[in-house]
Amino acid sequence: MPEINTIIHQPARLKIMASLVALDPGEQVDFVYLRKILNLTDGNLGAHLAKLENAGYVKIQKTFISRKPRTFINATGKGRDAFEEHIMALEAIIHAKKETDK
């Protein structure tokens, strides 16, 4: 039985993971662009990304492009699996409720 992932379930982190999983594997999104997509502040996004990085769900890569620092983020394989399991857990709760209502 899939279980609810407490790290991912937090609303902001849920949105972050949904955004990162929307990218194809191998693709990385710019930190500033992700912040705009999710309408979060720098500090808020940074703090949530740090938690997800500690869990091994995202990879944060700092680089220089044309001498300007840029940060790119992507969901790891472990993160994608955990997110998928979290969705299955949510669907299982809805399914179980429907079964008991019958």
Partner 1 sequence: MDISEKEAQDSLEQIRATFGHTKKKIAAGSTAPILILWGAIWFVAYLGTYVAYLLEFKVYCLRLTSSFSIGIHVTGLCWMVLVLIGMAASWVLGVKRAPVKSPHNKRWGFCWLILFVYAGVWLSLLWPWNDYQMSAFLASVPMFAYVVMGLWADRVLLWLGIVVTLLIIVGFFLFHFQPVFWLWMAILGGGALAGTGLYIRKAWR
The binder of partner 1 chosen from 2, 14, 76, 85 (CB under 8 A): 14
User: Which residues are within 8 A (CB) of 51 and not within 5 positions of it... i.e. 6 or more apart?
Assistant: 7, 13
The binder of partner 1 chosen from 1, 67, 69, 94 (CB under 8 A): 94
Segment 45 to 64, residues that bind partner 1, using CB under 8 A: none
16 contacts 48 by C-beta, under 8 angstroms: yes
DSSP 10: S
| Interface residues toward partner 1, by CB under 8 A | 3-4, 6, 9, 11, 14-15, 18-19, 21-24, 26-30, 33, 36-38, 65-66, 72, 87, 90-91, 93-94, 97
